[in-house]
Structures are given as structure tokens and as C-alpha cells.
Amino acid sequence: MVFNCETFPILKTQRLTLRELKLDDAAIIFALRSSEEINKFVATKRMQNLEEAKDFIQTCNALFQKEKRIFWAITKQEEVLGTIVLHRISLTRKYAEIGYKLKTEMQQKGFMSEAITAVLHFGIEQLNLKTIEAYTHKNNVRSIMLLEKHQFIFQAHKKDPSFEHNRIYRFETNS
């Protein structure tokens, strides 16, 4: 299937709706991307204010239009619990990377597992992806367990050139 960047894909699971980020989400995006606890295994710069969050949302939406990123807000009954993204999408290479963040109090409840299942299904069925990679810190045990639960395989031979503590996990379809 051809990626339709005209209509943002809304994904639904048993408990969740994955939807496009809105500028109204700036406060929660700021909270997720500035939290020391949530980002303790992430090397990216923490957000400093709501303006950075709004800029980030606009960048995500612009990259969607360019078929490079699909950044979903993970919601349950309108409350944003976290985010999940397919980024560095290459339809020609049938490749993307996946990333995610979840409010601390929402972790360990199966929400991210539900969201990953939906995003993997979308990536395979709608984008025809064959390879999805995840970069996670070597000490992020919960993330590693989540990836392994979803059949991501550790790539011992691959290194993240921008962050030496990351480990790369790969999901490949059989088709």
C-alpha cells in the first residue's frame, strides 16, 4: 500500500487510541520530553519550555507530510498516556525505526505493548515495512523486555554511532 500522507492514520486497540499530535498536547509533550525519570536512558536534550514542545509537534506533523515520521499520541479516553513513533521511514528500503515514551504512572500496565502491537501491524500491513529497528539503552531493562516480547532481536554487530550506550534491536517480517 502507498503511504497516504493526506490522512493521519488513527489506530485503535482494545483500550487505546493512537492519534495525531495537536498543539493542545504541548503540555504533555513537554512533560514527557523534559522528565528526568522518563528520559534517564535517552541521550537527547530535554525540552526547556512549552514553545519547544509546540515546535516539536509542528516538526513531527511536517515530517509526516514528507512521509518520514508518524508520531502518535497514545490516548485512553482522551487522556494522553505517552507517545509512539515510526521515524526515519524509508518506503523504498521498507525500513523504519520505532520509539516510545510513557508517563511513569502508566508504565507496567500493558499500554505500551498494546501500542507497539498496533504500530507494528500498521507498519507491516499499511506501509509494507520489512524491517523496524529500535535503539534502547543497554540498562533499560523494561524497554529491552518489551522489545523482546514483540520479537525484536538484539543486533550485537551493530553499534549506534551517536550514543555508545544504545543497543539496537531489529524486528523483521517473514514475508
**Helix runs in the chain, H state only:** 26-34, 50-65, 111-125, 141-149
In the numeric block, the cell 498543539 is attached to: 23
The pLDDT tens digits for 9-50 are: 999 999 999 999 999 999 999 998 887 777 677 767 788 899
Q: What domains appear along the chain, each with residue ranges and CATH number?
A: 11-172 (3.40.630.30)
The pLDDT tens digits for 130-161 are: 999 999 988 889 999 999 999 999 998 888 77
Helix pair angle (50-65, 26-34), 10° resolution: 100
pTM, two decimals, is 0.92
